[in-house]
Amino acid sequence: MSELEQKFNEMVIAVREATIDFQPNNTQKLKLYAFYKQATVGDVEGECPSVLNMVERAKWSAWNAIKGWDKAKAMAGYLAVFEGK
């Protein structure tokens, strides 16, 4: 496992277990969601959700915006959110 993967996995656990003092705003939450999904699943698939489902549409759009990113770039993006970059 690379150092990047290790840091990413540690941060994911810290977020899940709420052991990190970080209160992301909505934009940061969308970025974290998109970077996490791209790093763990890959490119978004399926149709964009209806405008009536605003939350799912926003999440899909954020993920779709980074379509094509490789795993390492997505993991680095995830970590950068916590560093304020």
Instruction: Write the CATH number for 64.
Output: 1.20.80.10
Contact 13, 38 (CB under 8 A): no
Domain of residue 18: give its range: 3-82
Task: Label residue 28 by pLDDT band (50, 70, 90).
Answer: very high
Instruction: Tell me which long-range contacts 8-11 makes (C-beta under 8 A, separation of at least 24).
Output: 8/39, 8/75, 8/78, 8/79, 11/78, 11/79, 11/82
Cα 32 from Cα 36, distance rounded (Å) = 6
The count of domains in the chain is 1
pLDDT in tens, 52-83: 999 999 999 999 999 999 999 999 999 999 99
What number is the average pLDDT over the span 22-36?
Answer: 97
DSSP secondary structure code for residue 65 in this structure: T
Q: What is the CA radius of gyration of the chain?
A: 13
